[in-house]
């Protein structure tokens, strides 16, 4: 059974996206992971797949949370931890 709720990381696709940060060690590597997720959404001209959309939304939330980490407080169970 999947995890689904109204929070940004409250679904399996976005939660799985958090695991992509397990092996990153530099800001450049973090930026690359975020850029890849956001580019996937931007390349979806005809429509965004649900999985890609959930991952893109999670990436966008992390970009915003870089400067405002309290934004992710509701998602502390799923969001990548510093």
15: nearest Cα among 58, 71, 64, 78:
78
Q: What is the pLDDT of residues 53-71, one digit of tens each?
A: 889 999 998 888 888 777 7
Average pLDDT over residues 7-14: 84
* % of the chain with per-residue pLDDT over 90: 23
pLDDT at 26: 93
| pLDDT tens-digit map of 27-49 | 999 999 999 999 999 988 788 88
pLDDT at 59: 93
- The position carrying tokens 């005809």 is 46
Report how far residue 67's alpha carbon sits from residue 44's, in angstroms, rounded to the nearest whole number.
28
């Amino acid at each position: 059974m999947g995890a689904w709720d109204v929070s940004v990381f409250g679904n399996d696709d976005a939660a799985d996206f958090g695991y992509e940060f397990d092996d990153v060690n530099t800001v450049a590597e973090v930026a690359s992971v975020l850029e890849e997720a956001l580019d996937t959404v931007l390349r979806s001209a005809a429509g965004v797949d649900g999985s890609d959309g959930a991952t893109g939304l999670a990436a966008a939330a992390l970009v915003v949370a870089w400067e405002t980490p309290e934004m992710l407080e509701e998602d502390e169970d799923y969001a990548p931890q510093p």
